[in-house]
Amino acid sequence: MDQRTVEGATARDKVHLWLKGLQMEDIQRGMILAKPRTINPYLIFCAILYVFEKKDGCDDSPFSAGYKIAQFRRRTINENEKVTVIMNDKVEEIKMIMFGDYACIVIQLMKQLLVSWA
């Protein structure tokens, strides 16, 4: 460690912090330190996706609303989530998504998650 003081840090910078009133046991992997009211947790979000075809290594069965995503991974978490609505490119609700389709899906999270919008 070079023991220098800096004005700020960006994502993926390694920093050492001294937080008054916190014990080492209070900190867990995946926790985020942020300025108050700058990030929001979400339970529902929409994602645009392309479903690969079988030749690309995809599973051979289409899925519909109510499908539970077995391994939803986002950085340090691994959760079970559920697809609640599937819409096509014309923003019409559809029953099922097939291989090679683009779709907008609404995902319901089991726990609140911080989602950054790019």
Q: Is the pLDDT of residue 79 over 80?
A: no
State the SS3 of 15-55: CCCCCCCCCHHHCCCCCCCCCCCCCCEEEEEEEEEECCCHH
Which tokens go with 48? 């645009």
| Domain range list for the chain | 34-114
Q: Is the pLDDT of residue 112 over 70?
A: yes
Counting runs of H as helices and runs of E as strands, what totals does the chain give? 0, 6
Task: Report the pLDDT value the prediction gives residue 74, as an integer from 0 to 100.
Answer: 59
Task: Say if residue 76 is exposed, middle or buried (CB neighbours under 10 Å; 0-12, 13-18, 19+).
Answer: exposed
CB 101 within 8 A of CB 51: yes
What percentage of the chain reaches a pLDDT higher than 90?
Answer: 0
Task: Say if residue 33 is exposed, middle or buried (CB neighbours under 10 Å; 0-12, 13-18, 19+).
Answer: exposed
Q: If you classify domain 34-114 with CATH, what class do you get?
A: mainly beta
Q: Which of 30, 27, 29, 33 is nearest to 15 (CA)?
A: 33
How does pLDDT run across 20-76, given as a tens digit for each residue?
A: 888 888 888 777 777 777 788 888 888 888 878 778 776 667 777 877 776 666 555
